[in-house]
């Protein structure tokens, strides 16, 4: 079997594999899929395993920007991972995921995220459970109780606003010191913003994208940097309460809407887990943001069988909101790449010790928790 970059001529075979892995797409969804992935093919972001002329497995690396404690970095979003049913159990999945991991590095992505259909294969390659995508169900009538604040100017948003939206998202996540959320490239946003079924509104310091779904309202993204704009955007969604009974909304773990509602006795929130991996450990540490209140120096031992350059003795140093990972002498806590990836995303040291991702001296555990404190989330599914 061979691994190669896929071209546009392979997309029919890719779509067939996708159908066999995840079920059929409607004609409209298949057309949208082609529109979204064709540029990625030209960028070397679609990989395939072939057996002669037959396509056996695929993996796609989406180009995203992801924020960690308010600091952006390029992230490889691994998606479209398929293995033909007749070839499962032959190690083909590990083969294509190893190629995807190396391609993330080639593309300059020091970190990677994926939504797993199954955990074991991805965990065996170094990805680990890190954060959530949470969808809250809210009675639409409750949104009408969100009292307006200062007047906020809202306007409809379309494909021509893609560049402005990308810049706004960057400002919003930096200001809130967010960990986990991503942003598409402007070209992708232009495609999404052209969808007539989505209602998109823009303010100077926030935006919302929502749609009708089965008689109810579905909010994809609603992010704001001020109380007044948060009230205005949620109030806009709430104007549909005379027709829609429920709103399902993708929210941050501590989203302001949960505190703006007049009545909140029980949260109805469904969460989907996503997995995270450091591709280049030193680069990922340098690109992350940290609390300027934390200063630390911790020796670490790291093991990464799939990316040996990450393995070895390191010294972690954090000061003034920045971090560095440089070659060290060892003698400190020992982490698997899964453990360090989870720690980077705010999973507590105590949890990692009890699940095998962290061993060795415990004297630095509180320091590591302070360095990497985070509650990561995603608003988007890919």
Q: Is 113 left (phi over 0), alpha (psi -120 to 50) or beta?
A: beta
Split at pLDDT 50, 70, 90, the class of 266 is confident
Mean pLDDT of 323-348: 97
Nearest to 222 by CA among 232, 159, 171, 139: 232
pLDDT (tens digit per residue) in 267-312 = 999 999 999 999 999 999 999 999 999 999 999 999 999 999 999 9
Q: Which residues contact 89 (CB under 8 A, 6 or more apart)?
A: none
Per-residue pLDDT at 316 exceeds 90: yes
Mean pLDDT of 316-343: 97
Per-residue pLDDT at 94 exceeds 90: yes
Residue 57 is predicted with a pLDDT of 97
Mean pLDDT of 176-198: 96
Q: Which residues contact 20 (CB under 8 A, 6 or more apart)?
A: 82, 84, 85
Residue 138 is predicted with a pLDDT of 94
Residues forming CATH 3.30.1050.10 domain(s) in the chain: 280-371
CA–CA separation, 62 and 379 (whole Å)? 16
Per-residue pLDDT at 235 exceeds 90: yes
Residues forming CATH 3.40.630.30 domain(s) in the chain: 2-126, 134-272
More confident residue, 241 or 184: 184
Token pair in block for residue 112: 């990677």
Per-residue pLDDT at 34 exceeds 90: yes
Mean pLDDT of 8-23: 95
Phi, psi of 137 (to 5 degrees): -105, 120
Split at pLDDT 50, 70, 90, the class of 265 is confident
DSSP string computed for 78-99: EEEEEE-GGGTTSSHHHHHHHH
Per-residue pLDDT at 330 exceeds 90: no
Among the ranges given (11-15, 129-133, 224-228, 239-243), the one the predictor scored with the smallest mean pLDDT: 239-243
Judging by DSSP bridges, how do beta strands 312-319 and 322-327 pair with one another? antiparallel
CA–CA distance from 356 to each of 17, 242, 260, 330, 340 (Å)? 36, 52, 40, 19, 11
CA geometry: angle at 41 spanning 65 and 307, to 5°? Answer: 60
Share of the chain above pLDDT 70, in %: 100
Q: Which fold has domain 134-272?
A: Aminopeptidase (3.40.630)
For residue 366, the 8-state DSSP code is: H
Q: Does domain 2-126 have CATH number 3.40.630.30?
A: yes
Mean pLDDT of 126-144: 95
Residue 222 is predicted with a pLDDT of 98
Q: Which fold has domain 280-371?
A: Nonspecific Lipid-transfer Protein; Chain A (3.30.1050)
Q: Cβ(127)–Cβ(101) under 8 Å?
A: no
Split at pLDDT 50, 70, 90, the class of 196 is very high
Share of the chain above pLDDT 90, in %: 96
């Amino acid at each position: 079997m061979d691994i190669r970059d896929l071209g546009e001529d392979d997309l029919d075979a890719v779509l067939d594999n996708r159908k066999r892995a995840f079920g059929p797409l409607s004609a409209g969804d298949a057309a949208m899929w082609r529109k979204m992935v064709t540029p990625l093919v030209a960028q070397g972001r679609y990989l395939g395993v072939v057996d002669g002329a037959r396509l056996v497995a695929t993996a796609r690396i989406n180009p995203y920007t992801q924020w960690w404690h308010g600091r952006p970095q390029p992230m490889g979003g691994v998606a479209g991972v398929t293995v033909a049913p007749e070839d499962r159990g032959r190690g083909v999945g590990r083969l294509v995921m190893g190629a995807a991991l190396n391609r993330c590095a080639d593309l300059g992505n020091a970190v990677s995220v994926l939504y797993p259909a199954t955990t074991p294969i991805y965990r065996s390659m170094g990805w680990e459970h890190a954060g959530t995508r949470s969808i809250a169900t809210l009675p639409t009538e409750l949104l009408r109780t969100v009292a307006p604040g200062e007047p906020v100017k809202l306007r409809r948003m379309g494909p021509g606003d893609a560049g402005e939206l990308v810049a706004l998202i960057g400002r919003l996540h930096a200001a809130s010191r967010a960990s986990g959320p991503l942003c598409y490239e402007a070209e992708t946003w232009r495609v999404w913003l052209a969808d007539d079924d989505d209602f998109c509104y823009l303010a100077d310091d926030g935006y919302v994208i929502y749609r009708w779904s089965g008689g109810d309202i579905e909010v994809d993204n609603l992010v704001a940097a001020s109380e007044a704009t948060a009230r205005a955007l949620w109030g806009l969604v709430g104007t549909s309460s005379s027709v829609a009974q429920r709103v399902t909304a993708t929210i941050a773990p501590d989203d302001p809407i949960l505190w703006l509602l007049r009545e909140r006795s029980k949260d109805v929130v469904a969460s989907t887990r996503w997995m995270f991996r450091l591709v280049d450990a030193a680069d990922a540490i340098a690109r992350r943001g940290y609390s300027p209140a934390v200063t630390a120096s911790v020796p670490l031992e790291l093991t990464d069988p799939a990316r040996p350059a990450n393995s070895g003795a390191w010294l972690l140093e954090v000061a003034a909101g920045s971090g560095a990972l440089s070659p060290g002498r060892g003698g400190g806590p020992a982490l698997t790449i899964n453990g360090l990836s989870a720690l980077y995303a705010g999973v507590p040291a105590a949890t990692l010790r009890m699940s095998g991702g962290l061993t060795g001296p415990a004297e630095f555990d509180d320091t590591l928790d302070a360095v990497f404190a985070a509650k990561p989330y995603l608003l988007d599914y890919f």
